[in-house]
Amino acid sequence: MINIAIMGYGTIGSGVAEAFYTNSHIINERAGQDISLKYVLDLRDFPGSPVEQVLIKDFNAILNDGDVRIVVETMGGVGAAYDFVSALLRRGKSVVTSNKELVAKHGAALFALARGSGANFLFGASVGGGIPVVRPLNSCLTGDRITEISGILNGTTNYILTEMTQNNKGFNEALSEAQRLGYAERDSSDDILGLDTCRKLAILISVITGEKVEASDIHTEGIDKITIDDIRYAKTINGNVKLIARANITQDGVWATVSPAIVTGGHPLNMVNGVFNGILIKANISGDLMFYGRGAGKLPTAGAVTADVIECAKNLNRNVSCFWTDEKRRVYDIGDNICRKLARVSCKDGERAMDKAIEKAQQIFKCKQVYVLSEHRDEFAFVTEAMPEKTLGGQIKELLECENINGILSLLRIEGTGETKSASKSETKSVSKSKTKSVV
Ligand code: HSE
């Protein structure tokens, strides 16, 4: 029999306990021996809960108990969690975590500790919730060179954007629902500002390359500034706004970004809604792959943790978790990243001022089509050609010199290389003065 402990009885920790009680027979069978939950560490009391009899408040009880071979860390954060996990690995106990902050920041050091003591440090639940993506990358695609990874890696923000897009919900209402459903981080600004996605992308690139990627090196934008009007403009080009993580991996470096982007037409990520995550991988031998499933929530994440516990149980005295080293992967300057964007421009009120502003935009950006939301007489949008971010920055600066332009309301990257088409004729109306201006 193997004894395990859970540190942190929050949403995920309680889900792991539930998974072990619900599926004990199948888990024991697959692990090859019985797994017993000996301790649950939490400073809070949970009277009447199924783990009441095994609740403890002293970490040392787990550390010093030689019978405990595998520990689940679902506390979150990088303070106590890092100290506890390091101490456990040094003692030769395997650790399974769902804590992406811990893995992104200290993964290389923790793998080294695990290697040194013959234990394992597994973290499949830290990316994509219930989607098995880390282990396939580390075992099924090892004969491939992976050149590209892109995806929706955060359930909370995808839930919010889907609710705003499909049900006209306000940002705050959708966020409260995501929090109530147990999708959000302890501090939901990590979700909203793109930091959670950024950590997950850093982990995936590190798994693929075997080198450490600092999350702080990845250009990251959140969804905090996305408005209903951004979503409406996205619809005019047959797109939806999604928070997209993208990495293009070369022999010696990586382009990596996290930003809201417009995903158009039949792009596979356009079908990923609500709490679901989708991850696209381009591999030079196996071709294109897509991973899809519930990216957040108690039981999907607990399922991924449980699978890693079973993996540890099957490899009790054998380290299988050497994922990446401390050597840093180069992250290229975002300024050289080539992309197309939908630019929303605020201009002086009135048709004449707007026409002059549009003329200027067309002169600088050579855009054939501009879009105007029917009730607005003081803003318009257009799609740029593909160009490096820094060239785009220069052209925007030039545009802002036009006296009829007040500023840029938003700049949204367009995901993928597919041609951006305007919406069907019935949704758009040409304006007689300018064949290129569509009121939508
Ligand atoms: N807050 C995270 C999300 C939890 O919404 O995706 C799962 O990592």
Given 200, 242, 298, 360, the catalytic residue:
200
Q: Can you give the three-state secondary structure of 35-80, one letter per residue?
A: EEEEEEECCCCCCCCCCHHHEECCHHHHHCCCCEEEEEECCCCCCH
Nearest atom in ligand 1 to the alpha carbon of residue 98 is: 8
Ligand 1: distance of its center to the CA of 244 in Å? 14
Give yes or no for residue 99 CB within 6 A of ligand 1: no
Handedness of CA 314, 317, 320, 322 (dihedral sign): positive
Mean pLDDT along residues 56-68: 98
Residue 376 has what pLDDT? 82
216-236: pLDDT as tens digits: 999 999 999 999 999 999 999
Amino acid identity at 335: G
202 and 329 in contact (C-beta within 8 Å)? no
Ligand 1: distance of its center to the CA of 387 in Å? 32
Per-residue pLDDT band for 186 (boundaries 50, 70, 90) equals confident
335 and 354 in contact (C-beta within 8 Å)? no
Q: Of the residues 159, 183, 203, which should be mutated to test ligand 1's pocket, given the most ligand atoms within 8 Å of the CB?
A: 183
Mean pLDDT along residues 411-427: 58
Residue 380 has what pLDDT? 95
The share of the chain scoring above pLDDT 90, in percent, equals 90
79 has a pLDDT exceeding 80:
yes
Give yes or no for residue 190 CB within 6 A of ligand 1: no
Sole residue written with tokens 């009899």: 53
Phi (first) and psi of residue 399, to 5 degrees: -60, -40
Per-residue pLDDT band for 419 (boundaries 50, 70, 90) equals very low
Per-residue pLDDT band for 432 (boundaries 50, 70, 90) equals very low
127-142: pLDDT as tens digits: 999 999 999 998 899 8
Average pLDDT, rounded, for the chain: 93
Using alpha carbons, select from 98, 70, 114 the residue that is nearest to residue 323.
114
Mean pLDDT along residues 306-312: 97
Per-residue pLDDT band for 323 (boundaries 50, 70, 90) equals confident
427 has a pLDDT exceeding 80:
no
Cβ within 8 Å of residue 207, ≥6 positions away = 134, 137, 138, 323, 324
Is 397 assigned a catalytic role?
Answer: no
Residue 405 zone, left/alpha/beta (φ > 0; ψ -120 to 50; rest): beta
Give yes or no for residue 276 CB within 6 A of ligand 1: no
Using alpha carbons, select from 322, 301, 295, 382 the residue that is nearest to residue 121.
322
Q: Where are the alpha helices (DSSP H) in 212-268?
A: 228-236
Ligand 1: distance of its center to the CA of 184 in Å? 6
Distances in Å between the Cα of 259 and the Cα atoms of 1, 129, 233 are: 47, 20, 17
Using alpha carbons, select from 297, 293, 303, 296 the residue that is nearest to residue 17.
303
Ligand 1: distance of its center to the CA of 154 in Å? 5
Range from 154-158, 191-195, 317-321 carrying the lowest mean pLDDT: 317-321
